Every structure is written in C-alpha cells, then in structure tokens.
C-alpha cells in the first residue's frame, strides 16, 4: 500500500515511468512551503485516478520553481461504482466554499452549483460569477489533495432549477435533502452502481415549486435525522451516510 504520509501534488499528467517535472504553483508550494529537498518523496496525482510515488532529484525554488522527479511506482485508482453528484445551492459569504470543501473531503464525485430561488448569493454571468466558480474549483482541488483523493471532483458551470431537473432525469437516483418530510435517507433502496444526484438547498430552504419540479423529474425528498443542518454541512453528512449504506466505502 502506498505511503499515506507523503504529500500530494497535482499535475496535468502522470507518466508511467522515468523522469518528470513538477512546475507552476504546485512546484512553488512544494519548494517554498513544504521545503522539499533532494531525496525526499511525494505523491504525484493527475486528479483523475493516476498516482505515482516519486523521489525528488532536483529542486529549483523561486517564482519559476521546478522539481525534477523520478517515478518509483505508478498506479491507478478507479472511481467508485456508485458515484455521487452533489447539487449545492449557492450560499452567501464563504459558506459555499465550505460546503465544497467538506463535500470533497467526504467523497463527492462532482459538484453542480445550483442557482436556487432562495439563494442569497447570486452568480451573475460575467466576471463576478467566473471568479466565484473559480474559487469553488480551487477549493475542490485543495480539499482533494488534503483528503489524499485520487480523483478531484469536477465543479460544473452553475445551473438553474430547470437544468437541474434535466440532469436529474439522467441519474439512477435523485435525493433531495429536506428536514420536514417523513421519509428518511435510510428508507431508500440505494443502488450499487450508477450515479446518485444529491440536492442540497440554500439556507432559506427549497421552495414548493422547486421541490415539485424535482419530484416530477424523479427525485425523492428525504431527511437525514431530527435536526436541521446548514447548507454548508448537509452534503458532507449525507455523503458519510451513503458511504456506510452502500458499497462506496468498500
């Protein structure tokens, strides 16, 4: 089993063998923040399942930092047979980024920003929306590295409710988290394979019209327990439950 104490760095690709170079922001972090030296080891990841244990042959610090690496072992980790796509309602302040961070650490396979009716945050088309999306994507990359995940979840372009309903029709199961419904997550028959769409509403809750639209697309509204979770923590809690109730953690 690979050493789980080695730091993880992301690269565009991971060669099967031989030498490779780590550059850009990842190299600056390795050389300046982690202060890696010749002879030390790290894990190189392409974010899509490809991983390699490498030894550092040379370090060039500074703005144009580079690490020259020799690959000692290369392997591939397959994605889970049952994938979970989190549709996360936009949240104000840093709560949206916190939701992405926690969901990524808990194993989300993809994250869809949802422009819910009661979302306080509004991602307008253009510069401000692009910057907000970039922050979510950066957060997902950092959280995947922190959690030592082989797969960095894709953070898609934001969608409205109609687009979300269209996505729901392509899924094996669609779960909408609601605190005031009788059905529980544990009441569902969960598949072993395919894609599950997990819908998390905003702090103000999902509107009746939104819930009706998603139900028409095949969604099941369920609660996790007897308490009300914040939008930033709900997906992570649900992902933990799905990990235990399905084959995802096997």
- pLDDT, mean of residues 152-161: 97
Residue 228's pLDDT is what?
87
Residues 71, 99 share a domain: no
pLDDT tens-place string over residues 164-216: 999 999 999 999 999 999 999 999 999 999 999 999 999 999 999 999 999 99
Within-domain flag for 1: no
Within-domain flag for 220: yes
Segments forming the whole domain that contains residue 46: 8-76
- pLDDT at position 27 over 60: yes
Can you give the CATH number for the domain in which 191 is found?
A: 3.40.1280.10
Final residue of a domain: which of 34, 51, 76? 76
Locus of tokens 């600056």:
28
Can you give the CATH number for the domain in which 54 is found?
A: 2.40.240.20
pLDDT tens-place string over residues 52-83: 999 999 999 988 999 999 999 999 999 999 99
pTM score: 0.92
User: For the chain, what percent of residues have pLDDT higher than 70?
Assistant: 99
Residues 98, 55 share a domain: no
Residues 217, 94 share a domain: yes
Within-domain flag for 2: no
- pLDDT at position 11 over 80: yes
pLDDT tens-place string over residues 142-151: 999 999 999 9
The mean pLDDT value of the chain amounts to 95
Residues 123, 72 share a domain: no
Tokens of 18: 């031989």
Q: Are strands 41-45 and 50-60 parallel, antiparallel or unpaired?
A: antiparallel
- pLDDT at position 2 over 60: no
Rounded alpha-carbon distances, angstroms, from residue 247 to 166, 191, 239: 27, 9, 12
Residues 106, 59 share a domain: no
Residue 188's pLDDT is what?
95
Residues 200, 137 share a domain: yes
Residues 161, 53 share a domain: no
Residues 90, 155 share a domain: yes
Residues 94, 71 share a domain: no
Residue 122's pLDDT is what?
87
Within-domain flag for 3: no
What's the total number of domains in the chain?
2
Within-domain flag for 139: yes
Within-domain flag for 200: yes
Residues 97, 68 share a domain: no
Q: What is the dihedral of CA 199, 200, 201, 207, to 10 degrees?
A: 30
Do the Cβ atoms of 96 and 88 come closer than 8 Å? yes
Final residue of a domain: which of 24, 57, 76? 76
Residues 56, 95 share a domain: no
Tokens of 164: 């979300």
């Amino acid at each position: 089993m690979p050493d789980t104490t080695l730091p993880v760095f992301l690269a565009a690709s991971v060669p099967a063998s031989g030498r490779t170079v780590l550059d850009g922001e990842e190299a600056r972090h390795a050389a300046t923040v982690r202060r890696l030296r010749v002879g030390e080891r790290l894990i190189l990841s392409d974010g899509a399942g490809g991983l390699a244990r490498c030894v550092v042959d040379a370090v060039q610090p500074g703005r144009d930092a580079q690490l020259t690496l020799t690959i000692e072992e290369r392997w591939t980790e397959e994605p889970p047979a049952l994938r979970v796509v989190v549709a996360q309602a936009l949240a104000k302040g840093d709560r949206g980024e916190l939701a992405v961070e926690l969901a990524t650490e808990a194993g989300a396979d993809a994250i869809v920003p949802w422009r819910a009716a009661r979302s306080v945050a509004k991602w307008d088309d253009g510069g401000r929306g692009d910057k907000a999306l970039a922050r979510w994507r950066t957060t997902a990359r950092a959280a995947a590295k922190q959690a030592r995940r082989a797969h960095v979840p894709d953070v898609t372009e934001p969608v409205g409710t109609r687009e979300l309903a269209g996505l729901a029709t392509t899924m094996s199961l669609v779960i909408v988290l609601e605190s005031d419904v009788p059905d529980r997550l544990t009441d569902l028959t969960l598949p072993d394979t395919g894609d599950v769409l997990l819908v998390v509403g905003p702090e103000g809750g999902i509107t009746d019209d939104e819930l009706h639209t998603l139900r028409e697309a095949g969604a099941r509204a369920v609660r996790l327990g007897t308490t009300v979770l914040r939008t930033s923590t709900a997906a992570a809690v649900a992902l933990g439950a799905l990990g235990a109730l399905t084959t995802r953690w096997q």
